Structure 1
Amino acid sequence: MGCGAGRHAFELYRRGAHVVAFDLDADELAGVEKMFGAMRLEGEAPEGATARTVQGDARDLPFPDNSFDKIIASEVLEHIGDDMTAMGELLRVLKPGGRLAVTVPSWLPERICWALSEAYHTAPGGHIRIYTRAELEAKLKSLGLRVDGHHHAHGLHTPYWWIKCAVGVDNAGNPLAKAYHQLLVWDIMKRPLVTRLAEQVLNPVLGKSVVVYTTKPSTPGVPDAGGKEKVDAA
């Protein structure tokens, strides 16, 4: 949900999933659809895996109840005014026992970005709120989802966004921002040990994103194994 340019959707397809890439932006989805086609031609996805795109609004998902085994909502809720409606829709279309992974910008890195640049958070379609992990988890729990755990990610990306905010988010030609961007691209493509270790150290403190994992109760009102009570989400 909110697939953007398709990074997560492509990886799921490579791993053999039946993927539905959903987004509001039809232009983004056109690029994702083309990449799905190229992956099929190159044999990048296992036989039997499927991938398609669907355009629509996260607050009114065009899918029946209990449609999906797993859902990723990565870096999207901070853009949506009525985030509780969007979360409720995710719960509705998730199958009982299904898993939902939600990522949002971490509080401290995001707070600094907002302080450095007004344009970062006032541009159309930009971030309209800063979550604490406690707030995000409380909202998900209030709908009936069970929170299973969390971690932080993308510690190497945080300094890049601080630089961007300091020099101007639209200043693509800034030498420092360009150099750091090249470093990130190199890291993503090559995944060298030195940057993987650096990110492991940075993530707990400076991770740009916090990832929260949840499960939809399989039987509302029936205790989970381990004594956790499942909450009626109706």
Structure 2
Amino acid sequence: MLTVDFDRLGVRPGQRVLDLGCGGGRHAFELYRRGTDVTAFDQDVEELENVAAMFAAMKDEGEVPEGAKAQTVSGDALALPFADGEFDVVIASEIMEHIPEDEKAMRELVRVVKPGGRVVVTVPRAWPERICWALSDEYHQVEGGHVRIYSADELIGKLTDAGLRYVFRDYAHALHAPYWWIKCAVGTDNNDHPLAKAYHAFLVWDMMKAPWISRTAEKLLNPVAGKSIAVYLGKPRAGA
């Protein structure tokens, strides 16, 4: 389940791409398949071990083109262990809402992308997220949980203040918003609730089969009810 549209981002084979806060690696794996030189970065070392194992399996199975590279790096998003301008593209998907010092993380993100490079940042959209917070304290009041709800203007403002140029925004995962409302209503750890189980089964079916009816429905609903907002930006060249 990808939140970032790599075609619209303009990702090309051979580019150096940082997946900042890669988590389970969903975006990093797609970047590897597309022939990039991808760095999956996260503070969770155990999660990165799983990502590295999947990178190796993908290569063994011939799922990546010749010349594609992939590595994992652990560290702190507030002090990235990379040189200035090291990456052509930086992706930060569903990470900023977890970071108390988000503006510092944004400045680090800007530092490591080269002038003329591209950035996409995704976070939960404000109004679906507010419903989750209203229904459940447990949803966000956990260690490593969400520490803020961004409005689109706030997120774009912080990113442009950090040195990026706003290009456009997009929305994703409208069909997933009701699932999280259900989970928050019945208990985020209550995976056996019939309604939660039924909706989860629907989402798995949708992801595995990609039927035209649900794919079309989500595409139409995303601008109104997409659970995530994706903001696409560029780093200006010197003197621009």
TM-score range, shorter chain: over 0.9
Residue 89 of structure 1 deviates from its aligned partner by 0.3
Q: Distance in 1 between matches of 2:199 and 2:96?
A: 27
Partner secondary structure for residue 139 of structure 2: helix
Residue 26 of structure 1: how far off its partner (Å): 0.7
Q: Which residue of 2 aligns with 1:191?
A: 210
State how 1:130-149 maps to structure 2 within 5 Å: 130-149=149-168
1:123 matched to 2:179? The reply is no
1:104 is matched with 123
Give matches, 1:4-83, under 5 Å: 4-83=23-102
2:196 — aligned with what? 177
CA distance in 2, matches of 1:110, 1:151: 16
Distance 1:142 1:197 in 2: 36
CA shift, 1:68, in A, is: 0.3
How far off its partner does 1:175 sit? Answer: 1.6
Runs of 4+ in 1 over 2 A off after TM superposition: none
CA apart distance, 1:211? 0.3
2:104 aligned with 1:89, yes or no? no
Q: CA deviation at 1:174?
A: 1.2
CA-based RMSD of the aligned residues comes to 0.7
CA distance in 2, matches of 1:172, 1:206: 24
Distance 2:94 2:204 in 1: 19
Matched to 1:44, the amino acid is E
CA deviation map 1:5-37 (0-9, x unaligned): 000000111111111000111111111000001
Superposition deviation, residue 180 in structure 1: 1.1
Shift of 1:169: 0.5
In structure 2, stretches of 5+ residues that fail to align are 1-19
Q: Quick one: distance in 2 between partners of 1:173 and 1:44?
A: 35
Mapped partners of 2:50, 2:201: distance in 1: 23
1:64 Cα deviation (Å)? Answer: 0.6
SS in 2 for 1:48: coil
The residue identity in structure 2 corresponding to 1:16 is: G
Whole-Å Cα distance in 2 between the matches of residues 148 and 126 of structure 1? 29
2:173: which partner in 1? 154
Report the AA paired with residue 178 of structure 1: K
1:162-183: per-residue Cα shift (whole Å, max 9, x none)? Answer: 0000000011111211121121
Residue by residue over 1:113-133, the C-alpha shift from the partner in whole angstroms, topping out at 9 and shown as x without a partner, is: 000000001011100000000
Q: Any idea what SS the aligned residue of 1:156 has?
A: helix
TM-score (norm 1): 0.93
CA positional deviation for 1:194: 0.7
AA aligned to 1:36 is F
Question: For residues 97-128 of structure 1, what are the alpha-carbon distances to aligned partners after superposition, in whole Å with 9 as ceiling and x for unaligned?
Answer: 00000000000000000000000010111000
Which amino acid is the alignment partner of residue 189 of structure 1?
M
Residues 37-93 of structure 1 show CA distances to partners (whole Å, capped at 9, x for unaligned) of 100000000010011100011111110110100011000000000000000000000
Partner Cα distance (1:106, 1:90) in 2: 21
1:191, distance to aligned residue in structure 2 (A): 1.2
Counterpart of 1:115 in 2: which secondary structure?
helix
Within 2, Cα distance between the matches of 1:187 and 1:21? 27
| Percentage of pairs with the same residue | 62
Give the paired residue count: 221
Q: For 1:97, what is the secondary structure of its paired residue?
A: strand
Aligned-partner SS, 1:103: strand
